[in-house]
Amino acid sequence: MELEGKQKPGKQDPEKGTEDSNEDQERKIDESLQDMLRWGSALGISDSSSAKMATSTKKMHDLCIGCTLSVSYFPKAGGRGLAAARDIVKGDLILRVPKSALLTTQHLLLTDGPFSTAVHGYPYLSPSQLLCVSLLYEMGKGQDSNWHPYLSNLPHHYDTLATFNQFEMQSFQVDYAVCAAETAKSRIESEWQQSQLLMRELKFRSGFLTLRAWLWASATISSRTLHVPWDEAGCLCPVGDLFNYAAPGIELHDGEDTMVIRSLQFNSLCISERTDEPGSEQSDTSVQRLTDGGFDENIKAYCFYARKIYKKGEQVLLGYGTYTNLELLEFYGFLLSENPNDKVYVGLETSVYSSSSFPRELMYIHQNGKPSFALLCTLRLWATPNKRRSVGHLAYTGTHLSTENEIIVMGLILEKSMAILKSLPTSIEEDHRILSGIEKIHDPTTSMEIHRLLSELGGDSLAFLEINGLQDSSESTQCLSRKIKRSLYRWKLAVEWRHRYKKTLLDCVSYCTRRIKAVQYPADFGDLL
Ligand SMILES: C[S@@+](CC[C@H](N)C(=O)[O-])C[C@H]1O[C@@H](n2cnc3c(N)ncnc32)[C@H](O)[C@@H]1O
Q: What is the pLDDT of residues 200-232, one digit of tens each?
A: 999 999 999 999 999 999 999 999 999 999 999
Peptide bond into 123 cis (omega under 30): no
Smallest CA-to-CA distance from 14 within 3, 26, 31 is with 26
Which of helix, strand or coil describes residue 301? strand
Structure confidence at residue 389 (pLDDT) = 75
pLDDT band, very low/low/confident/very high, at 54 (cuts 50, 70, 90) = very low
End-to-end CA distance of the chain: 48
pLDDT band, very low/low/confident/very high, at 283 (cuts 50, 70, 90) = very low
The CB of 242 under 6 Å from ligand 1? The reply is: yes
pLDDT band, very low/low/confident/very high, at 386 (cuts 50, 70, 90) = confident
Q: Is residue 155 part of a domain?
A: no
At position 518, the amino acid (one-letter code) is: A
The CB of 10 under 6 Å from ligand 1? The reply is: no
Dump pLDDT digits (tens) for 310-337.
999 999 999 878 999 999 999 999 999 9
Q: In whole angstroms, what is the distance from residue 369 CA to residue 508 CA?
A: 4
Dump pLDDT digits (tens) for 332-373.
999 999 999 999 999 899 999 999 999 999 999 999 999 999
The CB of 79 under 6 Å from ligand 1? The reply is: yes
The CB of 240 under 6 Å from ligand 1? The reply is: no
Q: Is residue 180 part of a domain?
A: no
Over residues 423-438, the mean pLDDT reads: 96
Over residues 90-112, the mean pLDDT reads: 96
3-state secondary structure string, 317-329?
Answer: EECCCCCCHHHHH
Over residues 422-429, the mean pLDDT reads: 97
Q: Closest Cα to atom 23, ligand 1: which residue?
A: 78
Structure confidence at residue 40 (pLDDT) = 97
At position 300, the amino acid (one-letter code) is: K
Between the CA of 330 and the centroid of ligand 1 the distance, in Å, is 13
Above pLDDT 70, what percent of the chain? 84
Q: How many domains does the chain have?
A: 1
At position 370, the amino acid (one-letter code) is: K
Rg (CA), the chain: 25
Q: In whole angstroms, what is the distance from residue 254 CA to residue 85 CA?
A: 21
241-245, 444-448, 506-510: segment of lowest average pLDDT? 444-448
Whether the per-residue pLDDT at 266 is higher than 80: the answer is no
Between the CA of 510 and the centroid of ligand 1 the distance, in Å, is 34
Q: Do residues 119 and 109 touch, judged by C-beta distance below 8 A?
A: yes
Whether the per-residue pLDDT at 81 is higher than 80: the answer is yes
Q: In whole angstroms, what is the distance from residue 405 CA to residue 378 CA?
A: 12
Smallest CA-to-CA distance from 329 within 125, 136, 160, 196 is with 160
Q: In whole angstroms, what is the distance from residue 383 CA to residue 333 CA?
A: 40
pLDDT band, very low/low/confident/very high, at 108 (cuts 50, 70, 90) = very high
The CB of 66 under 6 Å from ligand 1? The reply is: no
Between the CA of 241 and the centroid of ligand 1 the distance, in Å, is 9
Higher pLDDT, 284 or 432: 432
Structure confidence at residue 403 (pLDDT) = 93
Higher pLDDT, 236 or 522: 236
Q: In whole angstroms, what is the distance from residue 326 CA to residue 432 CA?
A: 19
Ligand 1 pocket: which of 220, 266, 317, 332 to mutate (most atoms <8 Å of CB)? 332
pTM above 0.95, yes or no: no
Smallest CA-to-CA distance from 65 within 39, 81, 88, 45 is with 45
Over residues 430-448, the mean pLDDT reads: 90
pLDDT band, very low/low/confident/very high, at 20 (cuts 50, 70, 90) = low
Higher pLDDT, 6 or 406: 406
Mention every residue, 6+ apart, whose C-beta is less than 8 A from residue 413. Answer: 346, 365, 371, 375, 379, 508, 512
Q: Is residue 389 part of a domain?
A: yes
Q: To which H or E segment does residue 79 belong?
A: strand 79-84
- Nearest atom within ligand 1 for CA of residue 331: 27
Between the CA of 163 and the centroid of ligand 1 the distance, in Å, is 16
Above pLDDT 90, what percent of the chain? 70
Structure confidence at residue 250 (pLDDT) = 52
Q: In whole angstroms, what is the distance from residue 440 CA to residue 424 CA?
A: 25
Structure confidence at residue 264 (pLDDT) = 42
Q: Is residue 295 part of a domain?
A: no
Q: Residue 479 phi/psi, 5° resolution?
A: -70, 150
48-52, 466-470, 520-524: segment of lowest average pLDDT? 48-52
Q: Closest Cα to atom 27, ligand 1: which residue?
A: 332
Ligand 1 pocket: which of 216, 334, 489, 490 to mutate (most atoms <8 Å of CB)? 334
Structure confidence at residue 248 (pLDDT) = 80
Torsion from C-alpha of 128, 131, 132, 136, nearest 10 degrees:
180
Which of helix, strand or coil describes residue 232? strand
The CB of 77 under 6 Å from ligand 1? The reply is: yes
Q: CATH no. for residue 348?
A: 3.90.1420.10
Q: Is residue 289 part of a domain?
A: no
Whether the per-residue pLDDT at 278 is higher than 80: the answer is no
DSSP tally for the chain: helices H, then strands E = 20, 14
Q: Is residue 355 part of a domain?
A: yes
Dump pLDDT digits (tens) for 128-178.
999 999 999 999 999 999 999 999 999 999 999 999 999 999 999 999 999
Q: Is the ipTM of this complex over 0.85?
A: yes
Q: Residue 375 phi/psi, 5° resolution?
A: -65, -45
Quickly count: other Cβ atoms within 10 Å of residue 463's Cβ: 15
Instruction: Give the domain extent around 437.
Output: 342-529
Structure confidence at residue 472 (pLDDT) = 87
Which of helix, strand or coil describes residue 479? strand
63-72, 220-229, 237-246, 258-267: segment of lowest average pLDDT? 258-267
The CB of 515 under 6 Å from ligand 1? The reply is: no
Structure confidence at residue 65 (pLDDT) = 92
Q: What is the DSSP string of 131-173?
A: HHHHHHHHHHTGGGSTTHHHHTTS-S----GGG--HHHHHTT-
Highest mean pLDDT among 21-25, 181-185, 344-348: 181-185
Q: Do residues 228 and 295 touch, judged by C-beta distance below 8 A?
A: yes
Q: Do residues 304 and 292 touch, judged by C-beta distance below 8 A?
A: yes
Whether the per-residue pLDDT at 518 is higher than 70: the answer is yes
Structure confidence at residue 15 (pLDDT) = 35
Whether the per-residue pLDDT at 471 is higher than 70: the answer is yes
pLDDT band, very low/low/confident/very high, at 50 (cuts 50, 70, 90) = low
Mention every residue, 6+ apart, whose C-beta is less than 8 A from residue 164. Answer: 181, 185, 490, 494
Whether the per-residue pLDDT at 122 is higher than 50: the answer is yes
- Nearest atom within ligand 1 for CA of residue 266: 1
Q: Do residues 46 and 296 touch, judged by C-beta distance below 8 A?
A: no
Structure confidence at residue 272 (pLDDT) = 33
Structure confidence at residue 136 (pLDDT) = 98
Q: Is residue 282 part of a domain?
A: no
Q: Output the average pLDDT for the chain.
A: 86
pLDDT band, very low/low/confident/very high, at 478 (cuts 50, 70, 90) = confident
How far, CA to CA in Å, does 48 sit from each of 65, 182, 318, 526?
A: 10, 45, 19, 56
DSSP letter, residue 252: -
Over residues 25-49, the mean pLDDT reads: 88
The CB of 80 under 6 Å from ligand 1? The reply is: yes
Structure confidence at residue 172 (pLDDT) = 98
pLDDT band, very low/low/confident/very high, at 249 (cuts 50, 70, 90) = low
Smallest CA-to-CA distance from 71 within 121, 36, 113 is with 36
The CB of 81 under 6 Å from ligand 1? The reply is: yes
Structure confidence at residue 474 (pLDDT) = 81
Structure confidence at residue 319 (pLDDT) = 85
pLDDT band, very low/low/confident/very high, at 282 (cuts 50, 70, 90) = very low
Q: In whole angstroms, what is the distance from residue 85 CA to residue 311 CA?
A: 9
Smallest CA-to-CA distance from 376 within 390, 394, 131, 466 is with 394
Q: In whole angstroms, what is the distance from residue 497 CA to residue 503 CA?
A: 10
Between the CA of 347 and the centroid of ligand 1 the distance, in Å, is 32
Structure confidence at residue 269 (pLDDT) = 32
Which of helix, strand or coil describes residue 249? coil
Mention every residue, 6+ apart, whose C-beta is less than 8 A from residue 524. Answer: 517
Q: Is residue 493 part of a domain?
A: yes
Between the CA of 48 and the centroid of ligand 1 the distance, in Å, is 25
Between the CA of 78 and the centroid of ligand 1 the distance, in Å, is 4
